[in-house]
Amino acid sequence: MLIGLAGFAAGAINALVGSGTLVTFPTLVALGYPPVTSTMSNAVGLVAGGVSATWGYRAELDGQWDRLRWQIPASLAGAVLGAYLLLHLPEKVFIEVVPALLVLALLLVVAGPRIQSWARRRAEAQGRSAEHVSPARLALLVFGTFAVGVYGGYFTAAQGILLVGVMGALLPESMQRMNAAKNLLALVVNIVAAVGYTLVASERISWSVAAIIAASSLVGGIVGAKYGRRLSPNALRSTIVVVGLIGLYRLLAV
């Protein structure tokens, strides 16, 4: 029951914010599962929630494919590297870096509107469209997406917040459209990680846990997408910050 509730909450939170692992991962560890087993089982299970969340936000993906065709391969490559690192490095190495990355992402989420406003004024002053994404910004975006993919393939927790932070600093997009892109890119990372774990270390996955999380997060993703799409940009941004701060506290308290 606890794992099912955590999976439902994670699916809903991932659709809204992208840090549902901060619910399921501590739950599994508290129930006695080893950290690596928790990470792998969680990544496999949350693929279902990522599918339902991405489907729920499919309308907001319209018009983003010219950019996503660069971001998706970056997420794929980063996820492969991150999954490899998880299998060959002590998990403690990455966990120690997570709080600093999460703080940086939250600062970018909060500062996103100001950064976008500055970029808009600068573009207009130079006679360019405010909606134009320069090659330099696109390159930075692809690199940032790759870096978050590495992180997501390794630890997965709060990768959605990192993605929204990176995109908010570089793109002239609304919160809801960035959230839709975040759901798709996070799903790509989770699929790669899940396939990698299954092929290389299936004996370290708790398949019963993964199945419970899959079923419950699938429903959670549907619910999260349904209500998340109704939130105003400020409400969605505030939700991301609040959940991120709670996750930061939980990480520091471990």
Residue type, 99: P
In a 10 Å sphere around its CB, with 0-12 CB exposed, 13-18 middle and 19+ buried, how is residue 124 labelled? Answer: exposed
Average pLDDT, the chain: 82
Give the highest mean pLDDT range of 5-14, 144-153, 209-218: 209-218
Work out the average pLDDT over 129-133.
58
- Given pLDDT bands bounded at 50, 70 and 90, which one contains residue 35? confident
- Write the pLDDT tens digit of every residue in 118-130: 656 665 565 555 4
What confidence score (pLDDT) does residue 188 get?
93
Q: Which of 77, 97, 124, 102 is nearest to 22 (CA)?
A: 102
On whether the CB atoms of residues 200 and 87 are closer than 8 A, the answer is: yes
What confidence score (pLDDT) does residue 167 get?
85
For tokens 């309308």, the residue is 59
What confidence score (pLDDT) does residue 99 get?
74
- Write the pLDDT tens digit of every residue in 208-252: 999 999 999 999 999 999 888 887 877 777 777 777 777 677 667
- Write the pLDDT tens digit of every residue in 71-105: 999 999 999 998 888 777 766 666 676 677 667 76
For tokens 């928790």, the residue is 38
- Enter the pTM of the model: 0.81
